Structure 1
Amino acid sequence: MKRLFLIATLLGAAPALADEGMWTYNNFPSAKVKEKYGFEPTQQWLDKVRLSSARLAGGCSASFVSPEGLVMTNHHCARGCIQQLSTAKKDYIANGFYAKAQAEETKCPAMEINQLESITDVTAELNKATQGLSGKQYADTLKAKMSELEQSCSAGNAKVRCDVVTLYQGGQYNLYKYRRFQDVRLVMAPEHAIAFFGGDPDNFEFPRYDLDVTFLRVYEDGKPADTSKNYFKWSEKGAKEGELTFISGHPGRTSRGLTIAELEFHRDVQLPKTLMQLSELRGMIAEFQKRGPEQKRISNNLLFGVENSLKASKGRHEALLDKKFFAQKVAAEQELRKKVESNPEMKKKYGAAWDEIAKAQEQYRNFRTEHLFKEQGLNGASDLFYIARTLVRGAEELQKENGQRLREFSQAGIPNLEARLFSPAPIYPELETARLAFTLSKMREELGADHPFVKKVLGKESPEKLAARVVKGSKLADVKVRQALYKGGQAAVDASKDPMIELAKLVDPDARAVRKQFEENVEAVIRKNSELIAKAKFEVYGTNQYPDATFSLRLSYGSVKGYTEDGKQVAPITQMANTFDRHTGEDPFALPQSWLKSQNVLTGSTPMNFVSTNDIIGGNSGSPVINKDGEIVGLVFDGNIQSLGGEYGFDESVNRAVSVHSEAIIESLKKIYGATRVLEELRPGSTKVPPVKANPAG
């Protein structure tokens, strides 16, 4: 991988330099932005941007872009909805979707959008509750106090979601209060061929030529939600080279603050295993797709996610294999430890924390595989198994006091859990069987045929036969069956003979046991000692730092700027005309017919995609790119290949966010898709002159 690491903040050892940082809204360095760019975001500006930003609860970012609840995100973030609404006769992934009238806007079966209303620091409450505790007692108390705070915040209101967010590896805790929108409808989506033009070969690369955009709308009480007070207006010209840009989104996870022991675990154990499993899963899906066009259609979304994760994991792994980069991480930790060791009081409070984390990581190496397959593997391999286990565990957990439940069953999270559990999204038995059989085979391979858990699960059956039997015999694809079991509680679940329920009941004791082992002996130890290290950093370096990403709303700043790769200068902005130069007629470089028919009416010099120095990571997909006036100038959809190491460090010289230019979106809506309703919302009055209408998707 082409990478030059010049890490500005080594393990959070000093205030961030350059354009580094995914900053929380209650600790944004406005003065620093003014010093470099001459613009100082005010509190009023920050509040407006925060409330105009949005989160897809499934793992992406978005923004409100009209007064009537119109939401903009990436096509690849909305793929789940688009595929769930598709059929063999109406393939919206392949052909696109456009609701010409409001009545045609179609509800997504399983999507929730969140708007962050407030942030409250609850560090003192949690520290007081857990003071002097460790191990199981610390873990249980922390979990109970988090659930208590979340429940008090949401107060039983299903339209409110509250999450306690862990920042600085436990050095700080914030309570995030969200407004929840669960009625989300699809408005417009282009064809997959242009939304992911270049496919996997171009993924995490630049130059790029993608229209990775989708428009949704949030509804309340059957009507478009009123977002007139907080939405982003559209800029007149879009991003220009050298312009100051802000990205407001939800970066999923970074690991810049981890200890060397944790990074070694990522490098030597977690990432190599993940790469192997994803590679094999990709092979299985590719084989599944050869069964026929319908099999390909129903598994395309899964393949997209696997290939994206595979490439991202490879980039992270290569970052940790970079000796110079890793040496910088080691040096930074050693520097902090020396400062702690030289102060008797700090040594007493914090000195043992790094070694305790190292011991916990070493212990986890010994049972990671069992934890993966007993607690996580089957749950992620089958929608039907996820439903079954949720029903089985819910029957038991929901009888307990709120603070004693597993975190996913806390009272504040019940609306989200029920929305997912009762989603009418289609479930495809053939794909379910293939995925489950694959995971069962991997379980037998990794744990061994003679392992007691493997024998317990498989009995005398092969993975393929067991998967086929439980999928074929299950009735859980029927939402009404799930609702009856959920409402019936423990008695109904105990009496159920559904083979998927029986499988979930069979594995649950082992899964709970290994989860308990992990939470008490690994997670609690790491969390407690990471909290101590964070406090040590605060004492030594101060609090002018940004925390690792946690899929909570962050704001980064930067500018539209190219970079040098292999001795060549990469220009920051591409043009629409060059999209056609890249067209070969063969996937993944085959443009849709709507684009080919519209080539002559498009303004070829219209900016298509661009790069900026904003610090982002996975989860930022769908984030709005805005200027100092809070106007949309672009839409984040990727990072360049160098940015993949951004999980562990940031290098402004080469790390780049990749975005769709706002003018490319307007040009496409107007001249290719004839999406006048959307255009009028984005730029009121822009449709007074009839747009050129070519071949709209639909």
Structure 2
Amino acid sequence: MLPKNWAKALLLVMLLPLAARADEGMWLPLFVKRLNHADMQKKGLKLTAEEIYDINNASLKDAIVQLGGFCTGEFVSGQGLMLTNHHCGYDALQSHSTPQNNILQNGFFAANPAEEKSNPGLFVDILVRMEDVTARVLEGVTPQAPEQERMTTIRKRQQEMAEAAKENGQYVAYVRDMFGGNEYYLFVYQRFGDVRLVGAPPEAVGKFGGDTDNWMWPRHTGDFSMFRVYASKDNKPTAGYSASNVPYHPKKHLPVSLQGVNEGDFAMVFGFPGRTQRFLPAAGLQLTLDQSNPARIKLRDTRLKIWKEDSDADPTVRLKYASKYASIANYWKYFIGQNEGMKRLKTVDQKKAEEASLAQWIAADPARTPVYGDALPAITQAYTGIREYNLSSQYVNEAAFGTEIIATASRLMPLYTMLKAPQVEKTALDKAIADLKEPLADFYKDYNLSTDKKVFTALMQLYAQDVPKEQLPDVFQTVQKQYGGSMAKYADYVYANSFVGSEAKMNAFLANPTLAKLEADPAFKTYLSVYNNYTQTILPKMQAYQSSLTRANRLYVAALRAKNTQKVYSPDANSTLRLSYGTVRPYQGRDAVSFDYKTTAQGIVEKEDPTNPEFVVPTKELQLIKAKDFGRYAGKDGQLPVAFITDNDITGGNSGSPVINGRGELIGVAFDGNWEAMTGDLAYDPELKRCINVDIRYVLWCIEKLGGAKHIVDEMTVVNNGPNPGVGPQAQVNGLPLPAGEVKKIKVKRKKKDTADASASVN
């Protein structure tokens, strides 16, 4: 039984933010006044805390949206005009492109509202409020409660609170846990389902640098696209497109600054970071380093090479696979960089040292041992078990579901369940079929069967050879017995006989679905074999270990916060609205290599290579740059600014987030992180971590000068208010100013890679 002072220890953990100073982190804006505002003011913020977050009056939070659940956007006009990244709008651009009118390749800016393009299924969420509901969620939940009982109680309360907050469908709401389940917060949003594409630069601008420059600095990428959010005539959300909808009038939109940035200027990033794991213990880091990431890298590399080979051979295939390639390639390179960074920075060793110190702290007080004593041993034991089955889990996701035919077959599972029932309810069956029509049509539009067949052969062969034999689905026994172990021969059979690979055959099946037809389909049979093996053999083992790990992690995080009372921890990112703040700042990437904080259009000219698709520069852009036709967007040095870096804390999901100066003005759009700090999701490095941003002046130049769409710029509130508030022109490292001249511009030789262009993003 736990000692009486357990409650006192937990209370201390929850009160820690009141007594400590906030520095790095992705912070909940709900607490900006209490935790961050004073520090932000020292760095150059001129806004009040209420101007950043207020539920009763318009504030910066009302200008920020979550786009489609995967990116961030910001309003830049009172007419619902929204700015985000090019790679966030990539799928929309690709879906509206045809070989005859390839707006992805050529760029596009709507000349008027009638030319704006609707995007079924795309939505934005705007935060109404967030609330700390920890006490309500955990009321009566004791440490002695069995973990499954605890989880059941908490999930029920989370669902009830979220449902009540929706107010009969008026809002979208959910309750998210923070700090490993030690705290809980309610988030309430308005969801707008009519989001129309307004414009984007040519792909050669929006993805300039491709795979080579992805996750790298210096950058010269115009990574932006524009959408407009529409609402009903009374400015309320609608579920989707309607001709009667009108542009949404946001409570707040960001003024756009032409002043530019200087070293040391204040910078705030406001957005929806996806997921970090900075409380991941050493055993979890080790598993990521030597098992999870290598599997992901290997399988994605295999898939990407096949896609690229077919895309290079056929422009039609390239257009079909452009968005998919970019998405997969982005995190393929991320996983490579993360592993390299973990080795270079000895992240696992650092975490082991932290855990050793924590173990000593726990042992030093007899009252702590009953509360936290079994956390670290339980973590070690759980990861030992997880390691046995983790590879199988990775190969299900990256190999089996890396093939499009199996992933699409999985969509038929609800139909399969209905058809297996003793009595099939026709109304429910008709609805299930109707729900499949739109996503399937979207899938087949961008599907090439022969390409997918090559991927299937390669990935399933790797699945067979890399996963422990006793953990393999029984379909691999079929391949061995009936096809002599040849995955190529099995692929011939699957793709020749499955209706899943053909839109016409799929539609014929859906017109008259039967259980016999579905169970006989070789693609569905393959999926079902993988699914049953995973859910009946692999998943139960993983869940058993995960259950004990959940409790151990919760105690581990609580112990860390109780031990380090001098530090305020920000919760891990989990796709909820956060802000980070810092300064415009150069950095030293490695020995004798220092990077400046900004780039200009001169770098575009220097990188230009007409023979390399990643570094092609549109003729018009080249002409404008060489003529120095920069207009009011030139910097003080007469050059056209392109990108800049700050030391803001960001991660995936922050793609498209606004970079805001001390007066609340838009100075850039965040789109990437830097290679030297690829471990940032696991461990923050204040000296190396950088946020890469496209300068708003380059965005405006691309719209007006390159795109000929001055009317879009005229719609914005463009300001030029003088120097951006900041701590001064000198950068600081470890609190000490750098000697004058130490930060130098350098030219970095790029390596030519035989790879197609990929999304450069923090997403």
Q: TM above 0.5, one fold?
A: yes
Give the structure 2 partner of residue 248 of structure 1: 270
- Match of 1:50? 61
Count of aligned pairs between the two proteins: 652
Equivalent residue number for residue 454 of structure 1: 475
Larger radius of gyration: 2
- The alignment status of 1:274 with 2:296, answered yes or no, reads yes
> SS of the counterpart of 1:602?
coil
1:363 aligns with 2:367: no
Residues 376 and 561 of structure 1, relative CA distance in 2, 3 Å threshold: closer
Cα deviation 1:562-581 (Å, max 9, x = unaligned): 12233244221222233223
* 1:392 pairs with 2:417: no
Q: Are 2:394 and 1:372 aligned?
A: yes
Please state how far the C-alpha of 1:661 moved relative to its aligned partner: 0.5
Alignment of 1:228-627 (within 5 A): 228-322=250-344, 324-374=346-396, 377-382=399-404, 385-393=406-414, 421=439, 424=442, 426-430=445-449, 431-447=451-467, 451-455=472-476, 460=482, 462=487, 463-469=490-496, 472-473=499-500, 499=521, 503-514=526-537, 516-517=539-540, 520-542=543-565, 544-565=568-589, 566-587=591-612, 588-599=614-625, 600=627, 602-603=629-630, 605-627=639-661
**Change in 2 beyond 3 A, CA 1:447/1:465:** farther
- Bigger shift: residues 624-633 or 640-649: 640-649
Distance 1:264 1:272 in 2: 12
Deviation at residue 215 of structure 1 after TM alignment: 0.2
Instruction: Tell me the CA shift for residue 133 of structure 1.
Output: 3.8
2:78–2:253 Cα contact (<8 Å) kept: yes
Tell whether the 8 Å contact from 1:154 to 1:160 is kept in structure 2 after alignment.
Answer: yes
1:8 is matched with none
- Which deviations, in whole Å up to 9, do the C-alpha atoms of 1:66-95 show, x marking residues without a partner? 222211111111111111221222222211
In 1: Cα distance, 2:260 partner to 2:104 partner = 28
Contact 2:500 2:506 in 1 (8 A): no
Cα drift, residue 163 of structure 1: 2.8
Q: Is the 8 A contact 2:255 2:666 kept in 1?
A: yes
**Partners of 2:74 and 2:657 within 8 A in 1:** yes
Distance change in 2, residues 1:97/1:561 (3 Å)? same
Distance 2:497 2:192 in 1: 34
Is 1:666 the counterpart of 2:676 in the alignment? no
Partners of 1:166 and 1:172 within 8 A in 2: yes
Distance 1:290 1:533 in 2: 50
1:455 and 1:179, CA in 2 relative to 1: closer, same or farther beyond 3 A? Answer: same
* Offset of residue 659 of structure 1: 0.6
Whole-angstrom distance in 1 between the partners of 2:296 and 2:398? 13
1:86, 1:685 → 2: CA distance? 35
Q: CA deviation at 1:626?
A: 0.6
For residue 595 of structure 1, report the CA deviation from its aligned partner.
Answer: 1.0
Aligned 1:110-189 pairs, distance under 5 A: 110-128=121-139, 131=142, 132-134=144-146, 136-155=148-167, 157=169, 160-189=171-200
Deviation at 1:636, TM superposition (A): 0.8
Query: Deviation of residue 557 (structure 1)?
Result: 0.4
The equivalent of 1:5 in structure 2 is none
2:674 aligned with 1:649 = no
- Which residue of structure 2 aligns with residue 23 of structure 1? 27
What percentage of residue pairs aligned between the two structures are identical? Answer: 25
SS at match of 1:76: coil
Q: Which amino acid aligns with 1:428?
A: Y
Aligned counterpart in structure 1 of residue 672 of structure 2, from 629, 634, 638: 638
TM-score normalised by length of structure 2: 0.77
For the residues of structure 2 that align with 1:305 and 1:682, how far apart are their CA atoms? 31
| 1:242–1:353 CA distance, 2 compared to 1 (3 A) | same
CA distance in 2, matches of 1:497, 1:540: 57
Question: Could you tell which deviates more after superposition, 72-81 or 266-275?
Answer: 266-275
516-525 or 255-264, which deviates more: 516-525
Q: 1:448 to 1:525 in 2, by over 3 A?
A: closer
Give the match for residue 103 of structure 2. 92
Distance 1:40 1:231, change over 3 A: closer
Q: Which consecutive unaligned segments of at least 5 residues does structure 2 have?
A: 1-15, 233-241, 422-431, 631-637, 721-763
Q: Please give the secondary structure, in 2, of the residue aligned with 1:270.
A: helix
For residue 323 of structure 1, report the CA deviation from its aligned partner: 5.8
- Contact 2:178 2:571 survives alignment (8 Å): yes
- Any conservation in 2 of the 1:170–1:534 contact (CA below 8 Å)? no
Bigger mean CA deviation after superposition, 188-197 or 306-315 = 306-315
Structure 2 Cα separation of the partners of residues 483 and 140 of structure 1: 38
Q: Using the alignment, how far apart are the partners of 1:231 and 1:50 within structure 2?
A: 10
- Aligned equivalent of 2:713: 679
Letter in 2 for 1:34: Q
- 1:201–1:376 Cα change, 3 Å: closer
SS state at 1:564 partner: strand
CA distance in 2, matches of 1:469, 1:545: 56
- Spell out the pairing of 1:204-219 with structure 2 (5 A cutoff): 204-219=215-230
| C-alpha separation in 2, matches of 1:479 and 1:506 | 20
1:199 to 210, 213, 220: 210
Structure 1 unaligned segments of length 5 or more: list them.
1-12, 401-413, 486-490, 687-698
Report which stretch shifted further, 516-525 or 573-582. 516-525
Give the conservation status (yes or no) of the 8 Å contact 1:635–1:662: yes
Cα RMSD for the two superposed structures: 3.5
Q: What is the CA distance between 1:156 and its match in structure 2?
A: 5.1
Q: Aligned letter for 1:148?
A: E
Alignment partners' CA distance in 1, 2:440 and 2:690: 39
Deviations 1:507-534 (A, max 9, x none): 4433332564156313322222211222
SS of 1:646 mapped into structure 2: coil
Task: Letter of the 1:465 partner, please give it.
Answer: D
Would the aligned equivalents of 1:429 and 1:471 in 2 still touch at CA under 8 Å?
no
- Partner SS for 2:378: helix
SS in 2 for 1:545: coil
Report the AA paired with residue 165 of structure 2.
C
Separation of aligned partners in 2, 1:679 and 1:577: 24
Letter in structure 2 aligned against 1:572? Y
Decide whether aligned partners of structure 1 residues 580 and 139 sit closer, same or farther in structure 2, where only a CA change above 3 A counts: same
State the Cα distance separating 1:346 from its structure 2 match: 2.2
